[in-house]
Each structure stands twice: as structure tokens, then as C-alpha cells.
């Protein structure tokens, strides 16, 4: 197990062992997510070392794979959950209620019902509410346990405007109203334990000043709230620590960020809590995909692959950059690197946005080549969909030399099953030839 001092601050796609990845595609098929659990541990230990006095809660939404959650729980991390389903995953991974925060954003009724029922068995569970309406809905269900208030500090940052949460009206109670809201909650019998805010996702070194201002506002607010309600257990400043997706980007200076955070918060009689997600898992994962079509277009060569925006949504949704490496060209029988040409790597979805890169210089692709897409450990499978009736991919994990399947590949029958099960039983006698075909194994069954 690598010591944090020996662990590089970022794992580049070029550093993955092609000889280890290629057989995985042969055994499990593509598209395939591959996640290295030892890298997950290294990233967590780096955070723990930079913030030795803070509680580190992993943001489950970044990658909710059970192997990831159990690995981080065993390493000492708590788990921050954005839905009742994620809380179920956290409990299944072995985390006690005392190490789980449920951060509700406009929670559906079913979520709140489940959470309040779970609270009966896990009274140390913390619920974070982002509105007075949510607090009322909790009270209506008989909840008066540990309550944290999500506040809106009025300042945001992140890698894209869609993930800058700190100033978005959707998130949290305006900071200037927080004291009154929490005093009222305490008067109603809630156990007020903390305040929470999240500036955004993928914060880079260039946005350090914005992050520092955000943290300073949280420190000032925490002192005001503590004075009004008689103290706080913690101040949660969220996560958002960015990772370098581009090959020429430098990694975040985590120690410097930690020092600036402590300085900006000032004196607090409360524990600082951070909620990293992307930082822990992004560079621990790659997506393997196979080239199935090569086409020379007017200004570029199009390499069509079997992964698409249904597999990895970030490029289409955020115009996000992911490094791409041709693992087959690395060992081409020609004995030398193939000519590099401008290529557009595109998926099979009937959308013009279904591309992983446009006119990027890559070794010229050939049908059957295996490509690796880097930094796919965060918000990859979690955002995968079944659009175009496409089954979601499989996942495998690497763990200290061991390789094991972590999630089987869906089949078309899996995609159709909820629809079938909603039909009256009498319709079973009226199956079409297509229905019968998709009841059995098909090309997606591996």
C-alpha cells in the first residue's frame, strides 16, 4: 500500500498500464468502467493529511459503487448522501448513522419518508435541510434529530456554470436568514448541529480567491449562529476540489488550499467538515471503448466507438475535456507509433453532441482499436442513462493486483423489464417475436 508521501497528486492517463487494461476489455467487453481502489485510498489519505483536524465525508454522488463506499468507510471517511438511495448504499457499505449526512435538495416525499424511518434505527444520522419548507416537512413526519442547515453564501465557483452552486437560488437558505431559521428550529426541538454550503464542483487553483471568500463568509456565519443557538458541532464547507483533466494542467496544491481554508475560517469552536467527491475518484477510473467505425469526413477523421453520451455524459453536458489514449496503437505490429491525425471520437447516439473530442490529434484509429478515456472515475457511470434503449456498461475494480467484476453489464431485457412488469399478466400470451427475442440472451449479455 503506497504511503501518501509517495503518491503522486494526479494520475495521468499515460500512467495506466496498457498491458493490464487490454485483457479487461477482452474478458468483460466494452464499454467498460475500470476503477483502481488503491488510487481511491491514496487520494483520500492525501485529503486526510492536508486537513488533519477536519472530518472528511466522501460525496457519494461522484461514484456510488459499493466497492468505493466500503473502501472509503474502511479507510475512515464518512459519507455525504444526496438521496435516500445513497443513504441506503452508505448503510449497506457498513457506515453507521453517525458517519452519514443526508443533504436534501428539494427532497421528494418518498425520500423524506424513508429517511425518517431510517433515523429511528440510526438516531445519529444528520439531515441537512436547504429550506424552511423542508424543515417543516421533517417536523410533520416527527423528525426532531440532528439538523444541519444548508445556506446560500451568495458566491459560487466551479469548472462550469451548471455546477456553481454557491450562489444558485436552488441551493440553501440565504445566509442572511440563517440565524433566524436555526433559532426557530432549535425552539421547535430540533438538535441543531451545523451549517453547510458548497461553492461548486471542480474548483481550480485559479478560483482560489473565490473559494477563500466563500470560506470566510462561512466562518463569520458560523460564529453568529453559534452565538444564537448555543454552539455548533460542525461547519461544513462542502468539497469542490478540482482535478486536472487536461494533460498540461497542474494539480491543485491541496496543502495550500487547506492552509488558506483554516486562515479564512478563523477561530471556531466547531469541527470543520469537507465533502470531496471528484478529487477522491476522478483519476482512479478509466472508461474503455472499442472503435467500430472509421470515416474520413471533410475536415476530420471520425472514429466511431461503442461508448456514447449514455455512457459518459460529461463531454456532452459540460463540454468537458477527457484525455483519450489508443491502447492498441501503443503496441501496433508496425513497431512504431501510428501517424497522429485530427480525429473526432464519436459515440453511437443519434445526437450531434455525442462526441468525446473534436479534431483532436490522436494516433490514426482503425476498426477494432481499444481506446481509454481518462479521469472517468467521477460522474461517469453515475450519470449513465438508457437513452436509445441502450444498456448501461459493466464495471470492474482493481485492488492491489486483484481484478473483480463490480457491476454486470445491463442487457436489453434489463432495460425493458420495468415496462414488461407493468403490463397485465394476460399480455404475456400476446408477446411479439421481438419480445421473445429480447427475453433471451443477446449481444449485450456478457
Query: Is 314 annotated as belonging to a binding site?
Result: yes
Give the integer Cα–Cα distance in Å for 214 and 17.
Answer: 40
Question: HSE (CB half, 13 Å, CA atoms) of 88?
Answer: 7
Query: Is 277 annotated as belonging to a binding site?
Result: yes
DSSP string, 61-114: GG---HHHHHHHHHHT-EEEESSHHHHHHHHHTT--GGGEEEE-SS--HHHHHH
Q: Is 357 a catalytic residue?
A: no
Give the integer Cα–Cα distance in Å for 349 and 403.
Answer: 30
Question: What domains appear along the chain, each with residue ranges and CATH number?
Answer: 104-276 (3.20.20.10)
CB distance 45 to 4 below 8 Å: yes
Identify the active-site residue in 81, 148, 350, 357. Answer: 350
CB distance 377 to 282 below 8 Å: yes
* Local confidence pLDDT in tens for the 446 residues of the chain: 445 556 789 999 999 999 999 999 999 999 999 999 999 999 999 999 999 999 999 999 999 999 999 999 999 999 999 999 999 999 999 999 999 999 988 999 999 999 999 999 999 999 999 999 999 999 999 999 999 999 988 764 434 343 344 456 777 899 999 999 999 999 999 999 999 998 765 455 555 677 788 888 899 999 999 999 999 999 999 887 888 999 999 898 889 889 988 999 999 999 999 999 999 999 999 999 999 999 998 888 999 999 999 999 999 999 999 999 999 998 644 445 689 999 999 999 999 999 999 999 999 999 999 999 999 999 999 999 999 999 999 999 999 889 999 999 999 999 999 999 998 764 555 555 555 555 554 444 43
* CB-CB neighbours of 426 under 10 Å: 7
The predicted model scores a pTM of 0.90
Query: Is 276 annotated as belonging to a binding site?
Result: yes
Query: Is 28 annotated as belonging to a binding site?
Result: no
Paired with 103 in beta bridges are: 128
Query: Is 33 annotated as belonging to a binding site?
Result: no
Amino acid at each position: 500500500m503506497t504511503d501518501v508521501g509517495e503518491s503522486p497528486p494526479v494520475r495521468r492517463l499515460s500512467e495506466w498500464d496498457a498491458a493490464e487494461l487490454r485483457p479487461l476489455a477482452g474478458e468483460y467487453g466494452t464499454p467498460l468502467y475500470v476503477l483502481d481502489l488503491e488510487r481511491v485510498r491514496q487520494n483520500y489519505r492525501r485529503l486526510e493529511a492536508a486537513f488533519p483536524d477536519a472530518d472528511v465525508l466522501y460525496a457519494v454522488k461522484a461514484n456510488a459503487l459499493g466497492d468505493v463506499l466500503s473502501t472509503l468507510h474502511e479507510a475512515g471517511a464518512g459519507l455525504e448522501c444526496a438521496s435516500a438511495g445513497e443513504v441506503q448504499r452508505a448503510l449497506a457499505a457498513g457506515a453507521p448513522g453517525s458517519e452519514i449526512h443526508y443533504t436534501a435538495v428539494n427532497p421528494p416525499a418518498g425520500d423524506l419518508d424513508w429517511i425518517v424511518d431510517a433515523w429511528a434505527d440510526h438516531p445519529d444520522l444528520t439531515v441537512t435541510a436547504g429550506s424552511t419548507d423542508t424543515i417543516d416537512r421533517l417536523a410533520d413526519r416527527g423528525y426532531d434529530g440532528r439538523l444541519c442547515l444548508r445556506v446560500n453564501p451568495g458566491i459560487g465557483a466551479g469548472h462550469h456554470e451548471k455546477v456553481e452552486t454557491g450562489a444558485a437560488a436552488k441551493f440553501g437558505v440565504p445566509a442572511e436568514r440563517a440565524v433566524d431559521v436555526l433559532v426557530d428550529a432549535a425552539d421547535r426541538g430540533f438538535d441543531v448541529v451545523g451549517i453547510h454550503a458548497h461553492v461548486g464542483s471542480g474548483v481550480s487553483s485559479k478560483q482560489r480567491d473565490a473559494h477563500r471568500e466563500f470560506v470566510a463568509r462561512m466562518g463569520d456565519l458560523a460564529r453568529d449562529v453559534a452565538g444564537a443557538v448555543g454552539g455548533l458541532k460542525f461547519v461544513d464547507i462542502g468539497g469542490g476540489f478540482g482535478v486536472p483533466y487536461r494533460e498540461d494542467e497542474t494539480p491543485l496544491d491541496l496543502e495550500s488550499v487547506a492552509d488558506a481554508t483554516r486562515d479564512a475560517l478563523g477561530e471556531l469552536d466547531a469541527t470543520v467538515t469537507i465533502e470531496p467527491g471528484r478529487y477522491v475518484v476522478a483519476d482512479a477510473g478509466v472508461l474503455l471503448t472499442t472503435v467500430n467505425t472509421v470515416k474520413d469526413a471533410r475536415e476530420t477523421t471520425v472514429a466511431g466507438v461503442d461508448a456514447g453520451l449514455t455512457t459518459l455524459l460529461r463531454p456532452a453536458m459540460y463540454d468537458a475535456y477527457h484525455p483519450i489514449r489508443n491502447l492498441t496503437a501503443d503496441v501496433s505490429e508496425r513497431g512504431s507509433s501510428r501517424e497522429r491525425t485530427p480525429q473526432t471520437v464519436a459515440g453511437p447516439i443519434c445526437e450531434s453532441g455525442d462526441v468525446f473530442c473534436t479534431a483532436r490529434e490522436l494516433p490514426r484509429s482503425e476498426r477494432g482499436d481499444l481506446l481509454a478515456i481518462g479521469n472517468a472515475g467521477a460522474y461517469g457511470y453515475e450519470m449513465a442513462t438508457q437513452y436509445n434503449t441502450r444498456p448501461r456498461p459493466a464495471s470492474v475494480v482493481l485492488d492491489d493486483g486483484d481484478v473483480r467484476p463490480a457491476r454486470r453489464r445491463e442487457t436489453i431485457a434489463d432495460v425493458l423489464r420495468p415496462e414488461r412488469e407493468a403490463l397485465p399478466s394476460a399480455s404475456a400470451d400476446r408477446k411479439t417475436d421481438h419480445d421473445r427475442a429480447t427475453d433471451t440472451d443477446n449481444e449485450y449479455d456478457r
